[in-house]
Structure 1
């Protein structure tokens, strides 16, 4: 899978600013991060941040686009070949691997989805649209049911791919409360949704 973020050595100042914003938004939440803090993190001037993104909203849109690209790349790293179940499972696994390898994406998603601000609705809309496009494509290629409602399929995919991500902090906290010295491994959450 291509890395939508790339590495700092390969990046323009604009991309470094966007990446710094994602890291800070993921760690502290967008409302607690100033453009000045983003500039300092990216080792650029505040004027350069404003030149490229104008406002915090412009910067948030760029971060949302980057996170969406992570999902697009993960899903499209799996060709639509095999049975519907095989393709869905492989794509879910690709998304899980991408999330495991990109903790800033995970933290950004948790903050965006679980601590929503009115301005962040656009990001959820972007994820829904990306998922809708995938469902339409899979339906057209015969890899998704055309008898089930498209809306149900979209929700099922998002629950499968995000459920574990969003519930993991709670599971970790509960496990620490209830596990004993003889408990070797924490249970792994797997969410399945009938399609």
Structure 2
């Protein structure tokens, strides 16, 4: 799967604008980036940015469409057949690899999904709904158990796929502080969600 920030000469102006927005929003935050500066970085006029996206909200929506699309495409690389544990592990790995290959996307998600604002978070809403719909498919395929609620399975799956995204930088910083020579293997996190027993 080709990354969203492919060679600039292969991109349309619209995709180039969106990619500049993703990179700048990831680095600085949407509020600090003007449409004029995005246009300048993309080598286009502000009028062309407005033509393609309307306003900053439309541009942000395009960035988030890209992120959701890459999640969908990563999950689609794994067939929903076979041993349930193997399928689950392969799907999580596909998402992890996709995110590892797209650092600007990861930085954007960290900035947006960890925002303590009480306002609705469209990206979180869309990723949650995508995950819930995947749970429905996995249940139908006999991969996910129907013994737990969709809500529990959705939260668990999102934490498995995205939890490392948020916690790994903290673990890396602690590791760098504690290990001088790097001889020991640096830990890679796995996140598990436990629910209290209802019995």
TM-score (structure 1 length as normaliser): 0.92
Paired residue for 1:171? 171
C-alpha spacing 1:120/1:19, structure 2 compared with 1 (3 Å): farther
Q: Is the 8 A contact 1:113 1:124 kept in 2?
A: yes
How many Å apart are 1:192 and its aligned residue?
Answer: 3.0
Matches within 5 A, 1:21-32: 21-32=21-32
> Which ranges in structure 2 are unaligned for 5 or more consecutive residues?
none
Sort the Cα spacing of 1:160 and 1:105 in 2 relative to 1 into closer, same or farther, 3 A.
same
Deviation at 1:4, TM superposition (A): 5.2
CA-based RMSD: 1.9
Structure 2 distance, partners of 1:175, 1:152, is 32
Matches within 5 A, 1:50-89: 50-89=50-89
- After superposition, where does 1:88-127 map in structure 2 within 5 Å? 88-115=88-115, 117=117, 121-127=121-127
Contact 2:53 2:59 (C-alpha < 8 Å) held by counterparts: yes
Deviation at 1:5, TM superposition (A): 5.5
Say whether the 8 Å CA contact 1:164–1:191 is kept in structure 2: yes
Aligned length: 195
1:182–1:173 Cα change, 3 Å: closer
Q: C-alpha displacement at 1:85, in angstroms?
A: 1.1
Q: Find the aligned partners of 1:106 and 1:182 in 2 and give their Cα distance.
A: 25
Equivalent residue for 1:150?
A: 150
Structure 1 stretches of 4+ with a deviation exceeding 6 A read: none
| Deviation sequence 1:43-88 (CA, Å, 0-9, x none) | 1111111111111011000000001111111001111111211111
Structure 2 length as normaliser, TM-score?
Answer: 0.90
Work out the CA distance in 2 between the residues paired with 1:121 and 1:7: 31
Kept in 2: contact 1:5–1:66 (CA 8 A): no
Change in CA separation of 1:128 and 1:182 when aligned onto 2, cut-off 3 Å: closer
Name whichever structure is richer in helix by fraction: 1
Task: Supply the distance in 2 between the matched residues of 1:108 and 1:118 (Cα, whole angstroms).
Answer: 18
1: distance between equivalents of 2:119 and 2:17? 20
Shift of 1:109: 0.8
| Residues 112-148 of structure 1: per-residue CA shift (max 9 Å, x gap) | 1112556660111010011111001111111111111
Quote the residue 1:191 is aligned against. Answer: 191
